Amino acid sequence: MVKRALISYWLVASVCLVGCSSSRFHFLESARIAENCPTSEERPPAVQRLLAGHHIERGRALVLVARTWDPGSFFTIDDEMYTKLTIEIAKYEPDVPLKVPREGLRLFYVHGASAWVRQAAGSSSAEATGTILIHKKDDDRLTAAIDVIVSGRDPTEPLDKTPQDIRIRETRTFSRIQLEDLTPWLGTCYPSPGREVYP
């Protein structure tokens, strides 16, 4: 009986510890993508390049924020992975596709290892091709179809001429969030980059 209880506890604990992934999808109006956080000892140029384009401030555009985090394996340490996608759209009409790239639209992507962000471990991109379609929007919800290929580059090698193409093809519902409710994970600048890659 005790052995069975211990096995059950282990299974539940494993599910809880392994299954704590995080996904957040939000939109802001009257906003824009901000310039980088100030460079510091904790934010050398390679880290700046890695996290560029994911800080948000007041502006006049629509900004889509997609954040996902994977805790990794229960049996491995420091294998957590994060992904950020931030899109600024100056103007759009519902159900009218927006070609990427285009004037008035900026898209930034990063995927990397949370534990190794200070070593700029990951791939980032400000280049993309494809389409974005805003299906519908009400006061609190917005549905968007994103079909783009981003050109991921190693931020430690800024002159790398062989980017990795990454396909993003998904339809998501984004919930409204206010600028003052953003966190470092979602879009505010923080002196330590570690706060920006964990939910």
The answer to whether residue 59 is domain-embedded is yes
Q: Is it the case that residue 81 has pLDDT exceeding 90? A: yes
Give percent above pLDDT 70 in the chain.
Answer: 89
The answer to whether residue 4 is domain-embedded is no
Note the pLDDT tens digit of each residue in 25-77: 999 999 999 987 887 888 899 999 999 999 999 999 999 999 999 999 888 88
User: Alpha-carbon distance 21 to 17, whole Å?
Assistant: 9
The answer to whether residue 85 is domain-embedded is yes
Q: Is it the case that residue 8 has pLDDT exceeding 60? A: no
The answer to whether residue 90 is domain-embedded is yes
Domain housing 138: 21-196
Q: What's the Cα-to-Cα distance from 55 to each of 140, 164, 193, rounded to whole Å? A: 21, 24, 12
The answer to whether residue 126 is domain-embedded is yes
| Predicted local confidence at residue 9, as pLDDT | 39
| Cβ burial 61-97 (10 Å sphere, 16+ → b, else e) | bbbbbbbbbbbbeeeeeeebbbbbbbbbbeebeeeee
Residue 7 burial class via C-beta count within 10 angstroms: exposed 0-12, middle 13-18, buried 19 and up? exposed
Give the DSSP letter string of 112-160: EEGGGGGGT-EEEES-EEEEEEEEEE-SSEEEEEEEEEEEEB-TT-TT-
User: Alpha-carbon distance 14 to 103, whole Å?
Assistant: 48
C-beta pairs of 11-14 under 8 Å, 24+ apart in sequence:
14/74
Note the pLDDT tens digit of each residue in 88-108: 999 999 999 999 999 999 999
Q: Is it the case that residue 2 has pLDDT exceeding 80? A: no
Confidence tier at 15 by pLDDT (50, 70, 90) = very low
Centre a 10 Å sphere on the Cβ of residue 8 and count the other Cβ atoms it contains: 10
| Predicted local confidence at residue 12, as pLDDT | 41
The greatest distance separating any two alpha carbons of the chain, rounded to the nearest whole angstrom, comes to: 67
| Predicted local confidence at residue 156, as pLDDT | 86
| Predicted local confidence at residue 11, as pLDDT | 40
Mean pLDDT of all residues belonging to the chain:
89
The answer to whether residue 120 is domain-embedded is yes
Average pLDDT of the segment spanning 9-35: 74
Of the listed ranges 4-13, 30-39, 66-75, 140-149, the least confidently predicted one is 4-13
Domain count, the chain: 1
Q: Which of 55, 69, 56 is nearest to 22 (CA)?
A: 69
User: Alpha-carbon distance 21 to 199, whole Å?
Assistant: 9
The answer to whether residue 83 is domain-embedded is yes
Task: Tell me if 185 sits within 8 A of 199, measured CB to CB.
Answer: yes
The answer to whether residue 2 is domain-embedded is no
User: Apex CA 52: angle with CA 47 and CA 55, to 5°?
Assistant: 120
Confidence tier at 19 by pLDDT (50, 70, 90) = low
Q: Is it the case that residue 6 has pLDDT exceeding 50? A: no
